[in-house]
Every structure is written in structure tokens, then in C-alpha cells.
Amino acid sequence: MSSSSFDSETEQEQQSLFELMRNLKGCENVTRQDVDEWLTADDLESEMSVEELTNAFEETGKLYDDDNEAVDEQAPTKMCHQEGFAFLEKARRYIEQQSEATPDGESAYR
């Protein structure tokens, strides 16, 4: 895959995500710049290195679930844009099927 076709595919995915977000109730005023910032935020240096994650885990001992029971799991992997978009699509379909999912009983998706 050439760089230009990858860039074009990424641009299309970002545009699709922007359009999807604008159609969610409460997100009507989202701008393309907002979506671009959210997507690039994952690439900023605020991520923890493997060493930092390991040290943080070792300092606390174990991870705990909502019932304060110890959970033995690895640090989550970073979700790619395609997985994020697929998740939002599934969430949108779920909300469309649930009249009680929104306070006024209307679909959250226009």
C-alpha cells in the first residue's frame, strides 16, 4: 500500500468518524478539528512507556475490579482507528434499538 493511498484511507476514516460523531445526540457542535485532535491525542508523548506501566503496576501490587477483587490482566493494548470506528458503529446501532437509552426516549442518532 502506498503512502498516498494510506493517507487517503485514513482521511476517509477520519471523515466518516466526524460525520458519525456529528449525528450523535449532544455532539452536533463537534468540529472536524475536535475529531482530529482526539485522534492525534493518542500519539502524544503522554503515553506511558512499558517500563513506566510495569513500575506503576508493581507499586500497587495488583489491579482490582469494581468489587475490589484482584484481577490478573495485562495492560490494555492501544486501539487502532478502525477498531474505534467499528466500536462506535456498534454503539450507534445499539442506541438506535433502545428507546430507553436516551432520557427523552428518542434515538440518539439522527
CB 30 within 8 A of CB 5: no
Paired strand residues for 24: 109
Q: What is the pLDDT of residue 106?
A: 60
Please check whether residue 8 is in contact with residue 91, taking contact to mean a CB–CB distance below 8 angstroms.
no
The pLDDT assigned to 39 comes to 78
- In this prediction, residue 57 carries a pLDDT of 67
For residue 98, what pLDDT is reported?
Answer: 78
Domain borders along the chain are: 3-101
Structure confidence at residue 58 (pLDDT):
66
Contacts of 85 (CB under 8 A, 6+ apart): 13, 16, 17, 20
What does each C-alpha distance from 86 to 19, 49, 69, 92, 94 come to in angstroms?
14, 27, 31, 10, 12
How confident is the model at residue 52, as a pLDDT?
75
User: What are the per-10-residue average pLDDT scores of the chain (110 residues)?
Assistant: 69 87 86 84 66 69 57 68 89 80 56
The model's pTM is: 0.35
Q: Going by C-beta distance under 8 Å and a sequence separation of 6 or more, which residues neighbour residue 75?
A: 53, 57
